[in-house]
Structures are given as C-alpha cells and as structure tokens.
Amino acid sequence: MAGKVNKKYRSVLLQISIWGLLFALPHFFIPSDSRVVKPGFFPSSFFIITNLYHVVLFYFNAYIIYPLFFNKRKWWLFILILAAIAVSSYYLKLFITKTWYPQVIMDQWAYRILFFPTLAFLFISTLYRLIADKIQHEKKQKEIVAEQLSVKLKFLRSQINPHFIFNVLTNLVSLARKKSDQLEPALLKLSDLMRYMLL
C-alpha cells in the first residue's frame, strides 16, 4: 500500500515539475514587456495564458476524450474531435491575440505558434494515456498470474494426505523407541514440511 502511495506521489511530483518547467521557459527566452514590436514575438504573459489552456486540454483529452472515444469502434470520432479542438483552439488563441495583444505583428511564425502547440499537447496527452494504460494492463496481468500461482500452490498443499502425516508420526515414534540417531533429522524434515503447509 505504501509503495502505491509513493508511486502516486512521485507521478504527481513529476507532472508538477514538467508543468513548472513549461511555465518557466517563456520567462527565460521571451521579454515580459508587453510592448512587442518584432514580427512573430509574443509577450511571456501570452504563453502563461495559453499554457494554462494547454494543461487543461491535456488532462481533458487524457481522462475524458480518450477513455470515451479511443477504441476500435469510435477511433475515427476521436480523431475528428481532436481535429475540431485543434482548429477551435487556433481561432480562440487568434482572438485572444488580436483582443489582448494587438501590438503583436502577425507573420507566418506567429500563426504557427498559435496552431501547432495544441497539436503537440493533444498528441502527448494521447501518448501519455497509451503508456499509462499499457503499464496498468501489464500490472493487472502480473497480479492475475500471481493469484493463479497462489491458488495452484494452495491446491497442492491441500493435496497432502493426512494419512501421510499419520504414517510419518508413527515412524517417528518408532525411531524414538529405538533411540535412533535418525530421529532428529526426521523431526527437522517434518518441521520444514509443516512450515511449508502453513505458509
């Protein structure tokens, strides 16, 4: 149980670290001044807003769209939904740019910044769920195999005939009466057998 909790916390911490790095990058490479005059350049505040949107989009795809539509029957609908999200996201960011950042000079590079990051986040979130589901499936398969082995072991233990134990005890009594040196090794073997049966 503790191992599962630790793995969960490690996963959450890793995701927080990745998102933190993503949000920090614009502050290192892009001026925070909103008075942007170079073509294709956006202020860092624009990337904070769009990255917040991308984070929501990442988990929305990973935990809602993907589970509902990523299967053999609805895979085409899954692709159509992602395409619709990519297009609508482009126009949403274009609206935000023209409304809140009219100083940004739109060129070919600027339009790419508005469109392609959404595709990248959708692709990564889909890949994330594919890998997570594969790991979960393999974990369940291992648990099933372990449970099957446990059942087989219990069955084998239950097959030990009580008459066998009775015969062993009779032999031990006979060895005790004879004061045989083989009594101690025989008792140790019986002890190991009983320990095995009780585990």
pLDDT at residue 57, rounded to an integer? 92
pLDDT at residue 5, rounded to an integer? 56
Tracing tokens 């060129």 back to the chain, one arrives at: 107
User: How high is the mean pLDDT in each 10-residue block of the chain (199 residues)?
Assistant: 62 74 65 51 81 90 89 86 94 91 83 88 91 90 88 69 70 79 79 68
| DSSP secondary structure letters along 49-91 | HHHHHHHHHHHHIIIIIHHHH-STTTHHHHHHHHHHHHHHHHH
Q: How far apart are CA 38 and CA 61, in angstroms?
A: 34
pLDDT at residue 190, rounded to an integer? 73
Q: Can you list the pairs that 77-85 forms with residues at least 24 positions away whose Cβ atoms lie under 8 Å? A: 82/122, 82/126, 85/57, 85/61, 85/118, 85/122
| Per-residue pLDDT reduced to its tens digit, 158-196 | 666 666 677 777 887 787 888 778 878 887 877 777 776
pLDDT at residue 126, rounded to an integer? 92
Angle at alpha carbon of residue 55, lines to 49 and 58, rounded to 5°: 140
pTM: 0.63
Pair of tokens at residue 179: 């004061």
pLDDT at residue 37, rounded to an integer? 47
